[in-house]
Structure 1
């Protein structure tokens, strides 16, 4: 039979109707056995009962509460014929209540697949009826065909399920999400349609510091929680990794959508047991509303993604609803892409410098060079507005060379004037620069040109740069170390590096990602991760720097953990060269951290 899940019931009813007529019975039914939940489920019946009671006692029957005949059907593989009232009397009573017939004869023929009962084909006749062996053999053959059909339909259902669901969580996948949104945004449907784009904050850190399966276990627990707290008609999809999309079946306005996003944050933020630990993660949520018949699926998802980027821009754990202001922001990105190339060569780029200090004394130990773009119409743009565009348009190498050369030129000028004698200049290096064949030679030429010793320069690379091309990275870093150049891993703890990388590469220091440092004093999870990073750095003999220090509590916590070097807005914001000079003359930045006496002392040079 050319039957699938959508046509299974009407096709089965047609067959049952033919069997009712052929065998001269009053009623026939087909049931499937759900062994996982130990119940038997009505698939089709003929003739249909005109007004089944509510609830229908025959629709779903739990084996634990079933009558004796239905209990026997859970594992029966041979036909059962019931012709007298004293045989299975409780079953006779079930049929009497469901059909109104006082005395019946029943033929109960199991569906069998691979020696296991998978359902039953049942026939009921009022009064007396003898079932011959030949008739029962015919019915066994028909039941076998139904069992084959059932197995095929279940296999097809399973394939459809796999094609439309995430294998880790059982949630819908991207394909199912797009199909659902196409239906919801079709003309004539109610709107607006609220879409929530979720991105968990620093999930990979759970894997790195709590074990390989910790992230997966967290995702599974979170997915179950989301299912429990949304309506069955709502769409919850996992796009992979730590990204989810939720589309509500009901219509809500922007204000209600933002409130719903806050509720989602609260749900995600509840703690989850992962092994022996109880952990939580923040989540950033981007919200977009679509209008059926006017907004396409791609438009809604793109807007939700833009809103998510806005929500994450503040360091994570934010909520943002897509607005016209965001549309202007992404128009800025287009502007940047068009004009960035000329900006690198026409003098529009400038460098600001952010001091790094010893928290115990306030002594300036390093300056990090940070690029800015003096845009002709949009003012001073931070690197977040254009660096990603530079990387995507093959300008990262040219921009990076300008930054290194300009930073070293300024640093050499300070050195000549006696302003940075015991200070290290820190310069960020892009992935494109690090894997270029002539990078080491370029650095050597610049150091020779400006008369700078290599030990006064620290090049910072992010964790994901390390793993992109480990062989080339190792060769490049070894070449730099031969010149005495220091190497630091920036944004450490965000989930890319491993112990083997730290062991294999000639690294001098790690800089703890600002996302962990900012909430020290408020988050036990971040405290545990920072403590682990400091311990890890110590075991490898590496220096450690805390980034993003914005509160005295964070600074005091770092000192208490043995991390004395730090930078952040609490200490000083990035400044133009002329403003930094005043602090270099002083040699230190006054800090009032109220450190215990054991934490004070003379910083090592």
Structure 2
């Protein structure tokens, strides 16, 4: 007993079989029997499972009829052992059950006697410890008591191993679906991406589209049912060796066991889309969701797990930004884009405070005379390693990381400080400074007060400042926008709608707002002279703006044809590369001294239309 207890003390799931075999070998010698075996009862499946035997049978058949035996199909002894709690002895002359006959023949034994000692746990049998002796053998009460004690040790070991296995399962599986969780996924991918393994390793990052709408309409329990049904469908339709993990919510990651190239991976992602889009019965409803899929490929020994998952996540974001229910494979171009985004996000916060942000100014002129009527302040970032970055490279990141307000305040204060300095030196006397305002700034409760404080600090009259907002902001929060703009107008500040015509709003919205001008989106202006559709749109914007008494500015003027077309339509104010690119403050000063930028557009002597004051 002491020897057996010592042998089993440190056993876990990984060492259970060899340790059990050693104990069985000792018991065979000690009790002078020919064969011993250990079986566990799986009540959920209704079967008895062979754990260990000694001596091992030579060349057991495949499949092994003794490995897993269903109680429903077993002989009378096994059916009795399923619930037995006391030893059962089959002596010489007794009818030998089919199972014992199978053992006898497999072990090369002749007439046998068998002792079956149940493993009792919490008053129920959880397995059996069995011994077979050739010929006849009497088992004394003392021996049976020892075997019962040893069986109890095996029962305790089994309970401990099952508890450990359960904890291990919980630690590596999602509790809602039974799929692998993030921890198991990472361990699996570490193994797949190890040097020397086959590749490339494909990773699919899936996100269900608009699951929240389903939860809101049918309830969260219905959403859980939907998730479980989809998980079952994935397990039934994918290879058993594929890794399927749920990361929580409506996010899944699939790592196929099969290696694939990018083309094969994209085809497989489309198959997954079709599989998931099939309808699911939830209560009395039949529902379905689309799914966005990001695809990334990893090379064993070269690509880390975090890199593959990050790339798949970036591809997923690209798929969702395209409206959802799409497939995007991560590419080198996307890698460069997201490396820049990560770099910007990491360093932008310090850029606001370490003087690495600068302002450039793009002149706006009267196309008929070349006179400078306004300067648009445009922020740039002198990145420590990437050089001068335009706003398109970092403004969206600022908005996504709650830095837009801080960045916007810096732009307003810096632009007004420079404008006041020019005014002090006698420059820009009849020029308006234009400053772009982010959505975050416009809806902040103290925005009007901040503008008032800046104007007072630099002694600038409000009519010399024009704040530019996008159409999207107007529609996003029309009520709040109206209150803010009215507060600005009380100070005389001008308001312009930037990038107008891109489809977010209509001039009917502007009728309710204290707006002074609209700036026609550069996409329409650039193609003037080449596109009749753009000509019709620009003509319509100019005509409708005139009927509302609004000024009009053409953005993106890059060709003489575009400039002449604008003048012919009655839009005289414009900016663009044909006139001047955005310039540092020192360089734009030369234009301010001249007061105009010479243009040779071969315009007619007189033009009539909407004048932009």
TM-score tier (shorter): 0.5 to 0.7
Match of 1:394 among 403, 409, 418: 403
Q: Which whole-Å deviations, capped at 9, do the CAs of 1:185-208 have from their partners, x for residues lacking one?
A: 111111111111111112111111
Seen in structure 2, the aligned counterparts of structure 1 residues 380 and 58 have a Cα distance that, compared at 3 Å, is same
How far apart are 1:100 and its partner, in Å? 4.3
Name the CA distance, whole Å, in 2 between partners of 1:349 and 1:232: 65
Identify the residue that residue 60 of structure 2 maps to in structure 1. Answer: 52
Seen in structure 2, the aligned counterparts of structure 1 residues 294 and 581 have a Cα distance that, compared at 3 Å, is same
Seen in structure 2, the aligned counterparts of structure 1 residues 483 and 140 have a Cα distance that, compared at 3 Å, is same
Identify the residue that residue 476 of structure 2 maps to in structure 1. Answer: 460
How far apart are 1:306 and its partner, in Å? 1.8
> Structure 2 matches for 1:65-84, cutoff 5 A?
65-84=73-92
Match of 2:44 among 36, 54, 67: 36
User: Does the residue aligned with 2:56 lie in a helix, a strand or coil?
Assistant: coil
Identify the residue that residue 329 of structure 2 maps to in structure 1. Answer: 321
Seen in structure 2, the aligned counterparts of structure 1 residues 100 and 395 have a Cα distance that, compared at 3 Å, is same
Whether 1:237 and 2:253 are equivalent positions in the alignment is no
Identify the residue that residue 292 of structure 1 maps to in structure 2. Answer: 300
Seen in structure 2, the aligned counterparts of structure 1 residues 335 and 141 have a Cα distance that, compared at 3 Å, is closer
Q: Which whole-Å deviations, capped at 9, do the CAs of 1:141-191 have from their partners, x for residues lacking one?
A: 000000111111111111111111111111111111111111111111111
Identify the residue that residue 14 of structure 2 maps to in structure 1. Answer: 6
Identify the residue that residue 230 of structure 2 maps to in structure 1. Answer: 222
Question: TM-score, structure 1 length as denominator?
Answer: 0.64
Q: Which whole-Å deviations, capped at 9, do the CAs of 1:238-290 have from their partners, x for residues lacking one?
A: 11222111112222222111111111111111111122211111111111111
How far apart are 1:93 and its partner, in Å? 3.3
> Structure 2 matches for 1:499-578, cutoff 5 A?
575=521
Question: TM-score, structure 2 length as denominator?
Answer: 0.63
How far apart are 1:390 and its partner, in Å? 3.3
Seen in structure 2, the aligned counterparts of structure 1 residues 80 and 459 have a Cα distance that, compared at 3 Å, is same
Seen in structure 2, the aligned counterparts of structure 1 residues 482 and 187 have a Cα distance that, compared at 3 Å, is closer
> Structure 2 matches for 1:365-404, cutoff 5 A?
381=392, 386-392=395-401, 394-399=403-408
User: Does the residue aligned with 1:28 lie in a helix, a strand or coil?
Assistant: strand
Whether 1:246 and 2:243 are equivalent positions in the alignment is no
Identify the residue that residue 316 of structure 2 maps to in structure 1. Answer: 308
Contact 2:28 2:34 (8 Å CA) reproduced: yes
Name the CA distance, whole Å, in 2 between partners of 1:192 and 1:171: 23
Worse-matched range after superposition: 23-32 or 205-214: 205-214
Worse-matched range after superposition: 39-48 or 296-305: 296-305
Identify the residue that residue 569 of structure 1 maps to in structure 2. Answer: none
User: Does the residue aligned with 2:476 lie in a helix, a strand or coil?
Assistant: strand
Match of 1:276 among 262, 284, 289: 284
How far apart are 1:328 and its partner, in Å? 2.5
Seen in structure 2, the aligned counterparts of structure 1 residues 297 and 461 have a Cα distance that, compared at 3 Å, is farther
Identify the residue that residue 190 of structure 1 maps to in structure 2. Answer: 198
CA-atom RMSD in angstroms = 4.0
How far apart are 1:4 and its partner, in Å? 0.7
How far apart are 1:104 and its partner, in Å? 1.6
Name the CA distance, whole Å, in 2 between partners of 1:191 and 1:232: 19
User: Does the residue aligned with 1:161 lie in a helix, a strand or coil?
Assistant: helix
Seen in structure 2, the aligned counterparts of structure 1 residues 25 and 274 have a Cα distance that, compared at 3 Å, is same
Name the CA distance, whole Å, in 1 between partners of 2:363 and 2:25: 82
Seen in structure 2, the aligned counterparts of structure 1 residues 485 and 37 have a Cα distance that, compared at 3 Å, is farther
How far apart are 1:484 and its partner, in Å? 10
How far apart are 1:92 and its partner, in Å? 3.7
> Structure 2 matches for 1:85-484, cutoff 5 A?
85-87=93-95, 89-333=97-341, 346=360, 381=392, 386-392=395-401, 394-399=403-408, 429-430=439-440, 438=446, 460=476
How far apart are 1:438 and its partner, in Å? 3.1
Contact 2:405 2:438 (8 Å CA) reproduced: no
Identify the residue that residue 415 of structure 1 maps to in structure 2. Answer: none
How far apart are 1:379 and its partner, in Å? 8.2
Decide which structure has the larger Cα Rg and report it: 2
Contact 1:304 1:322 (8 Å CA) reproduced: yes
Seen in structure 2, the aligned counterparts of structure 1 residues 186 and 145 have a Cα distance that, compared at 3 Å, is same
Contact 1:196 1:246 (8 Å CA) reproduced: yes
Name the CA distance, whole Å, in 2 between partners of 1:29 and 1:203: 52
Seen in structure 2, the aligned counterparts of structure 1 residues 387 and 88 have a Cα distance that, compared at 3 Å, is same
Q: Which structure 1 residue ranges, 5 or more long, are not aligned?
A: 351-371, 407-426, 463-476, 487-546, 550-572, 588-605
Name the CA distance, whole Å, in 1 between partners of 2:462 and 2:262: 58
Contact 1:30 1:122 (8 Å CA) reproduced: yes
Contact 1:177 1:237 (8 Å CA) reproduced: yes
Seen in structure 2, the aligned counterparts of structure 1 residues 126 and 309 have a Cα distance that, compared at 3 Å, is same
How far apart are 1:331 and its partner, in Å? 3.9
Contact 2:38 2:50 (8 Å CA) reproduced: yes
How far apart are 1:581 and its partner, in Å? 4.2
Q: Which structure 2 residue ranges, 5 or more long, are not aligned?
A: 1-8, 365-377, 382-386, 416-436, 455-460, 487-502, 506-518, 526-537, 549-613
Point out which structure has higher relative CO (alpha carbons under 8 A, 6+ apart).
1
Identify the residue that residue 562 of structure 1 maps to in structure 2. Answer: none
